[in-house]
């Protein structure tokens, strides 16, 4: 009985498909690949007079007829070109058009505001006024010579340029966040102005007084936002099991910075262990200042250790030339992370190539 029913079912389906009931032009499962050719383009919406609007281009433009179809056969829908999507595309990126610079955020202005506001708070830059509903913020006046221990000022200091005064000058920044071309995006702008300490100048210039400082701050904001975004998805349990997460990047002045998603105590211990494993000699340290003093001219393994009588009667002081060769590995707590830099002193960064080599060796040996 079953073979008979199967044969009748096949015969019925063959008959239906033969008459075009299922797959024909008027069938239930017909090919709809060419339906777009009959779409009618509606006219543009007229904006009433007196209403401000931002012009938008066609999101899905429909091309016109580019070539006459000579044959009247069945049209084959072409295969679409693949979309190139980078998995490592940053959510925040530094953009420039002529002399105008901004940070492009793949978030709305309302979502980007608290993140950028936290940037100034983590770097301990005082805010004089802010208007969240307008996306505007103004910092207080800050001086590079009086606040040399501030990590943000220390990193953007080289951007001032050679020959420009630092002592006796003070600076402030104005930030604004504007909606992007698309509603889900936003743009972050920064304006910088300077004056003599105690001066009376208070009107903001149309353009920044120092374009290099403007770009350096924007680059710091971009790096901070991308690192904050990457570290936000890491839970404390995973971080405790896998050790501090280290990301090597560049600051606004182009100097390498190693950022650890960790508290200061764990980061201090991890950096000390990584220096030892990298065979970098630690000549001295100052935990209260967050500084390891290292000697790059001599490895830790090749250092001659004194014998019993040498340790008993020897002096603990090191020669002055050894002190001159010291390089500082500085740890700075910024928000919920710790930034590691390589400096010659608190006021001057080390050579970028030397700093990058040291930080890469530290990053490789972090557990």
The string of DSSP codes covering 35-103 is GGGGPPPPPPPPPPTT--------SS------S-----SPPPPPPPPPP---TT--SEEEEEETTEEEE
Q: What is the pLDDT of residues 160-170, one digit of tens each?
A: 776 667 788 89
Count CB neighbours of 282 within 10 A: 14
User: How much is the pLDDT for 75?
Assistant: 60
Check residue 207 and give its pLDDT. 92
Q: Band of the pLDDT at 189, cuts 50, 70, 90? A: very high
Tell me: pLDDT of 309 over 60: no
What distance, in Å, lies between the first and last C-alpha atoms of the chain?
Answer: 72
Distance CA 11, CA 19 (A): 12
CATH fold of 92-222 = TATA-Binding Protein (3.30.310)
Q: Considering only CA atoms, give the Rg of the chain.
A: 32
What does residue 278 show for φ and ψ, rounded to 5 degrees? Answer: -85, 5
> Model confidence over 18-31: pLDDT tens digits?
555 566 667 667 77
Band of residue 235 on the pLDDT scale cut at 50, 70, 90? very low
pLDDT in the model for residue 31: 75
Is the predicted pLDDT of residue 298 greater than 80, yes or no?
no
Mean pLDDT, residues 241-249: 64
Distance separating alpha carbons of residues 361 and 40, to the nearest angstrom: 63
Mean predicted lDDT score pLDDT of the chain: 76
Of the candidate ranges 87-91, 281-285, 342-346, the one whose mean pLDDT is the lowest: 87-91
Quick one: pLDDT band at residue 132, thresholds 50, 70, 90?
confident
Q: Which CATH entry fits the domain spanning 234-301+321-364: 3.40.50.10330, 2.40.110.10, 3.30.310.170, 3.40.50.700?
A: 3.30.310.170
What are the φ and ψ backbone dihedral angles of 147, each rounded to 5 degrees? -130, 50
> How does strand 186-196 pair with strand 100-105?
antiparallel
Q: How many CB atoms lie within 10 A of CB 359?
A: 21
Task: Output b/e per residue, 201-230; b: 16+ Cβ within 10 A.
Answer: eeeeeeebebebbbbbbbbbbbbbbbbbee
Confidence class of residue 232 from pLDDT cuts 50, 70 and 90?
A: very low
- Evaluate if residue 296 carries a pLDDT over 60: yes
CA dihedral 271, 274, 280, 284 (to 10 degrees): 30
Could you tell me which residues come within 8 angstroms of residue 17 by beta carbon, excluding any fewer than 6 positions away?
A: 23
pLDDT at 242: 40
User: 62 pLDDT exceeds 70?
Assistant: no
What H or E segment, with its residue span, contains residue 250? strand 245-250
The secondary element (H helix, E strand) that includes residue 232 is: helix 211-232
Confidence of residue 281 (pLDDT cuts 50, 70, 90): confident
Q: Where in the chain is the domain with CATH 3.30.310.170?
A: 234-301+321-364
Q: What mean pLDDT do residues 210-233 have?
A: 81
Structure token digits, residue 24: 């024909």
Location of each CATH 3.30.310.80 domain in the chain: 92-222
Which token pair is 296?
């790059």
- In this predicted model, which residue has the larger pLDDT, 145 or 211? 211
Mean pLDDT of 117-124: 88
């Amino acid at each position: 009985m079953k073979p008979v029913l199967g044969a009748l079912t096949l015969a019925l389906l063959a008959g239906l498909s033969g008459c075009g009931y299922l797959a024909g032009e008027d069938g239930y499962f017909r090919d709809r690949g060419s339906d777009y050719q009959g779409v009618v383009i509606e006219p543009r919406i007229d904006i009433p007079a007196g209403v401000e609007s931002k012009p938008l281009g066609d999101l899905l433009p429909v091309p016109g007829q580019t070539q006459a179809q000579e044959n009247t056969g069945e049209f084959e829908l072409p295969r679409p070109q693949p979309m190139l999507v980078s998995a490592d595309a940053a959510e925040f990126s530094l953009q420039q058009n002529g002399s105008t610079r901004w940070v492009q955020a793949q978030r709305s202005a309302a979502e980007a505001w608290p993140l950028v506001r936290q940037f100034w708070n983590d770097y301990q830059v005082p805010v004089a006024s802010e208007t969240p509903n307008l996306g505007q913020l103004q910092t207080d006046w800050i001086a590079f010579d009086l606040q040399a221990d501030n990590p943000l000022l220390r990193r953007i200091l080289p951007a001032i340029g050679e020959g420009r005064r630092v002592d006796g000058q003070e600076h402030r920044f104005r930030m604004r966040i504007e909606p992007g071309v698309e509603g889900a995006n936003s743009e972050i702008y920064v304006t910088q102005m300077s004056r003599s300490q105690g001066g009376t100048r208070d009107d903001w210039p149309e353009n920044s007084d120092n374009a290099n400082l403007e770009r350096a701050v924007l680059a710091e904001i971009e790096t901070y936002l991308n690192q904050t975004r990457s570290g936000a998805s890491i839970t404390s349990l995973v971080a405790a099991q896998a050790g501090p997460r280290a990301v090597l990047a560049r600051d606004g002045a182009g100097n390498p910075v190693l950022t650890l998603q960790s508290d200061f105590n764990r980061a201090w211990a991890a950096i000390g262990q990584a220096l030892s494993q990298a065979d970098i000699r630690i000549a001295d340290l100052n935990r209260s200042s967050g500084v390891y003093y290292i000697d790059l001219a001599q490895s830790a393994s090749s250092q001659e250790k004194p014998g019993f009588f040498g340790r008993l009667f020897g002096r603990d002081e090191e020669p002055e030339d050894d002190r001159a060769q010291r390089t500082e590995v500085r740890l700075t707590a910024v928000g919920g992370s710790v930034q590691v830099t390589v400096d010659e002193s608190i006021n001057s960064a080390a050579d970028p190539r030397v700093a990058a080599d040291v930080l890469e060796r530290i990053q490789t040996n972090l557990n």
